[in-house]
Structure 1
Amino acid sequence: MNSTNLIKPAGLFRRFAAIIYDALIIIAVEMIAVGIVVATMEALLSQGAINYGSYVDASDLLNHHPLWSIIFHAYVVFVWVGFLSYFWMKGQTLGMRAWKLRVQNEDGRNISFVQSLIRMVMSLFGLGNLTVLFDPKKRALQDMCAKCEVVHLPHVQ
């Protein structure tokens, strides 16, 4: 029997379980990314290379300065998008791996960077997965728009 016959569309529960798992990982990755920025700024401040001016601390500067807040928040979004795109283009995030899910094109190939961006925008922060309940092929809104699928991989013995 061909193993591709054992692959079936991913259900809603597994999708949401993987999202929760990945959200915890992304939070940790974002904390590290922000920590690097703040630690760098504090090191530069201690060396006299920068000063915060009228801002109380690094957080105040990064969140309220007209230019630096835009750059900082773009960086945070870049880390988030980069994390998801990288792993989706490889086929699985860590949460998807734990729940035996894979995102792929219908022919089994990995998705492209553009498809990963479409998936992110159209997922509506996970709510796009609700269409799995109504679609006969169990596709999420983001998968329909990106022309890909999320499958539940067979158990390997």
Structure 2
Amino acid sequence: MVTEAQKLHASFPSAGILRRLAAWIYDLLVAAAIIMLASAVALAFAGILSATGMITLTEEFDHAAWLAQGPWYSIYLITVVAIFFGYFWKTSGQTVGMRAWRLKLQNRDGSKLSLTQVVIRLLTCCAGLGSLWVLVDFKNRRSWHDYAAGTELVVLSKEANQLFYWHDL
């Protein structure tokens, strides 16, 4: 059964490349702050391990070097960023940058994304480069990850952005 909100969402136009890029830059700043916070947590963890004697570090091999010695720190940071985007895509369809630029990620019928769609989108987005496909796909203005996940990115009206902002809180 299609709700009134889904009918409303289904009527918005697809987002162009400039709005996508603006939201991407905005979200990049937020993601950088999240990476800094996650790095601080990881460094504190390394400090605790060092202080309790679970790891031994030399003067040339500090906490940051210990974290960077294998792939786990990078995997950790990628996971943190993926959780950030995935959480917002799944719960409201809008990250902070998308909300600022009145963009909403949704299914073609206006409904919210499933967890499977979020994972597919995360795996196929190519760090945002998949959005360049919008420059070629004039008719539908959908990116690679939109096609792969069966989603669309639409531009909300100011009123709808406010309505759904307060509804999602």
- TM-score for the superposition, normalised by structure 1: 0.86
**Does the 8 Å CA contact 2:125/2:131 hold for their aligned counterparts?**
yes
Distance 1:134 1:142 in 2: 14
State which of 102, 105, 108 in structure 1 corresponds to 2:107.
105
1:8-157 matches, cutoff 5 A: 8-52=13-57, 56-64=61-69, 69-90=70-91, 91-135=93-137, 136-156=139-159
TM-superposition CA deviations, 1:89-129 (whole Å, max 9, x none): 12100000000000000111111222122222222222211
Gaps spanning 5+ residues in structure 1: where?
none
1:22 Cα offset (Å): 0.5
Q: Comparing 3-12 with 81-90, which one deviates more in the overlay?
A: 3-12
Distance 2:10 2:148 in 1: 25
RMSD value over aligned CA atoms? 2.1
Distance 1:154 1:6 in 2: 11
Distance 1:5 1:127 in 2: 25
3-state SS, counterpart of residue 73 of structure 2: helix
TM-superposition CA deviations, 1:41-83 (whole Å, max 9, x none): 224434545322586101111111xxxx233222111101111
Distance 1:104 1:34 in 2: 31
Aligned match of 2:165: none
Q: Structure 2 counterpart of 1:102, which letter?
A: K
**Does the 8 Å CA contact 1:6/1:154 hold for their aligned counterparts?**
no
1:4 Cα offset (Å): 4.7
Number of residue-to-residue matches in the alignment: 152
Runs of 4+ in 1 over 6 A off after TM superposition: none
Distance 1:104 1:61 in 2: 41
The percentage of counterpart residues that share the same residue type is: 37
- TM-score for the superposition, normalised by structure 2: 0.80
